[in-house]
Chain A
Amino acid sequence: MSDEVTAQRKPLLEVTGLKAGYGIVEVLFGIDIRVDTHETVVVLGANGAGKTTTLRAISGMIPSSGSIVFDGVSISGKRPDQLLRLGIAHVPQGRGTIGALTVEENLRVGAFSRKDNEVTSDIERWYEQFPRLGERRGQLAGSMSGGEQQMLAIARALMSRPTLLLLDEPSMGLAPLVTEEVFNQLRIISSTTSTSVLLVEQNANIALEFASRAYALEAGEILISGPSEQLQGDPAIQKAYLGV
């Protein structure tokens, strides 16, 4: 990525010195992450590195210290429902399926914060993008396969028309082919909408293909960061995540 392109982009999310944990257990020891407008960024990390904690802290699900600035405004201490109104949608770990609602109701409830009358046409739009969801619109979401639930979770989050999409390990528990399909869809979404994506993943191969920039998180600290190609070529990353 050239310097001119970076200069044109505006910072959307700026996380500085983020510390968070659960009770007395510290998980994050002051990490810095930046996501620009129209950008896809991945945070790589093994189990227990603090990936989920990072996203949960950013979206206000757990308390944190340090600075989180979104679109020029400090958002520290805000609740998830307040952040959603500002434009941050979070697809949680394990997909967060609202199992007792049908597929269509999941999408409809995804637009809860919206007051416009384009909700129904947006739902149709996502049915076109994810035909499986359209076929199963009347089915209870909890009875669908893992891959379908992941697609539904992404579509539900996008129903709020976010500027930033937080994705917590979309590959979790999915077969390789299904994972690939999910990332193909994400690629289409990030090229056809103006939504930026901050993804946390263990599956470095597919995540580095998808994202333009990457951070490597280990034991609550950022070890390396840079353009995805650079991390793909880094011997330490290759050894730790890419199995080369």
Chain B
Amino acid sequence: MRDFLQVLLVGIGDGAIYAMLGLGLVVIYRSTGVLNFAQGELAMFSTFLVWTIWDVGAPMWLAVLLGMVGGFIVGALVHEAFVRPVGDPHQKPLAVVIVTIGLFLGINGLAQVIWGATDKVLEPLFGSSQITIAGVAIQWQKIGAVASLAAVAFVFYILFQKTKLGLAMRAVASNSESAGLVGIPVLRLLMLGWGFAAAVGTLAGVLTAPSLGLSPRLMQLTLIFAFAAITLGGFDSLIGAIVGGLTVGILSSTLPRYVSAFEKMPLAPAFILILLVLLIRPQGLFGSKDVSRV
């Protein structure tokens, strides 16, 4: 039982990171209808920004804050320079997806050029100590990941439900043509969406780096887990990303522990989950089925 709780908590901590990356994917999917394959690499890039700022002597929290701002700017610039010129993602979704795959390779290469291929060590944002409750040890880093997810979810809730900007972003997501007709500068909002997604990705990257080591490969597995998370939760649901992320985290830590077949294939639960969801409930748990009445 204690062993199970231990594995479960690790899974929740990892799941919180998948959920954060997933939230970024959902924000972009909702407004553009495309999956951003570069989401993980943008997170990796801005995590290197955090490392660079921390490495010159800034305290970790400040480095993360500045890294998130830097991530926001990089995300927005990438949209303006590479995504926007391709055209309306609602009309050419495939072209935009291909661009994000190109960005995946491009950003990865750029990071290798700037920071080299060897692992950097990034201090854990929430320290490396742990607390023990009823014999179950929990790293502060895992608790911090869950707290960060809660904070991000809260900020997104306020943004999307309580502000005029968020209302406009939801309008763009639901019907971009009508959003333009009511005076919303649709392209500028898509740019903001990319910025927000990259800023949240920074947090996911910073929380991943201490355990995996900071290298240009940092987010590649995490991205696959995040894809599984939003497939389960629904591509266009923020709540879905959170529920999906935690579920994928728990499955990926418990299954390999107790089912010997998964021991050597830690990614298998995520893939099986993607397949099952697509077969049984393609829109995911919370995703919308595109109901429309004419």
Contact = CB atoms under 8 A, between A and B. Distances in A.
B294 interface: yes
Interface string B196-240: 000000000000000000000000000000000000000000000
Which of B168, B174, B178, B179 neighbours the largest number of chain A CB atoms within 10 Å of its CB?
A: B178
B171 A98 contact: yes
Contacts of A144: 293
B182 A84 contact: yes
Contact of B185 (A61, A81, A99): A81
Given A81-B185, A112-B182, A143-B293, A100 B174 contact: yes
A99 B174 CA distance: 6
A113 B171 contact: no
Given A96-B178, A99-B175, A100-B173, A109 B291 contact: no
Contacts of B175: 96-99
Interface of A: 59, 61, 79-81, 84-85, 89-90, 92, 94, 96-101, 105, 108-110, 112-113, 142-146, 149, 156-157, 159-160, 173
A143 B292 CA distance: 7
Contact of B183 (A85, A96, A99, A173): A85
A224 B182 CA distance: 32
A92 B173 CA distance: 17
Given A146-B294, A156-B182, A96 B170 contact: no
A142 B177 contact: no
B74 interface: no
A145 B178 CA distance: 18
B180 interface: yes
Contacts of A80: 180-181, 183
B34 interface: no
A100 B170 contact: yes
B166 to A, nearest CB: 10
A105 B183 CA distance: 15
A153 to B, nearest CB: 8
**Most chain A CB atoms below 10 A, which of B175, B181, B185, B293:** B181
